Amino acid sequence: MVSLTQDQNFWIFLCFGQGDIDVVGHPLLQSLAAKYQKTASQIVLRWIVQRGLITIPRAKPNHFAENLEIMTFSLSDDDMQAISGLNQNLRSNVLNDPETFPW
C-alpha cells in the first residue's frame, strides 16, 4: 500500500502507540534498541523514516533531541525486514476498520 500511494503521489497518515498495544515493548524492538544503543521509540521512528514515510513524533520538550537523533543512524536491511515482519494488521480501535468505517 505504501509504494502504491507513493507511486500515485499521495500520502497516508498512520499512528502507532495510540492504543492499548505496547509497540515499543516488543522484544525485537528492545533487542534492536540495545544493538543500536537507541531507544525502542527511536528504532520505530527510524524504521518509518527509512521507509520514506513521514512521521509526526511526540513533541514534548524532553523528546526533541531524542527524536532528532534518529537521523544519526540507519537500520540494516535485515533489521528493516524484521520490523516489517511484526505487522499483524491490528487496530487499537474498531472504529478504524476501513471495512466498517462510515465513510
Residue 4 has pLDDT above 60, yes or no: no
Cell of 15: 499512528
CA of residue 34 relative to chain centroid, distance? 17
Neighbours of 42 (CB within 10 A): 24
Question: Tell me: the pLDDT tens digits for 19-63?
Answer: 556 788 999 999 999 999 999 999 999 999 999 888 888 778 888
Q: Compute the distance between CA of residue 6 and CA of residue 60 in angstroms, rounded to an integer.
A: 30
pLDDT in tens, 52-96: 888 888 778 888 899 999 999 999 999 999 999 998 776 666 676
Euclidean distance between CA atoms 34 and 67, whole angstroms = 17
Domain extents for the chain? 2-84
The per-residue pLDDT for 94 is 67
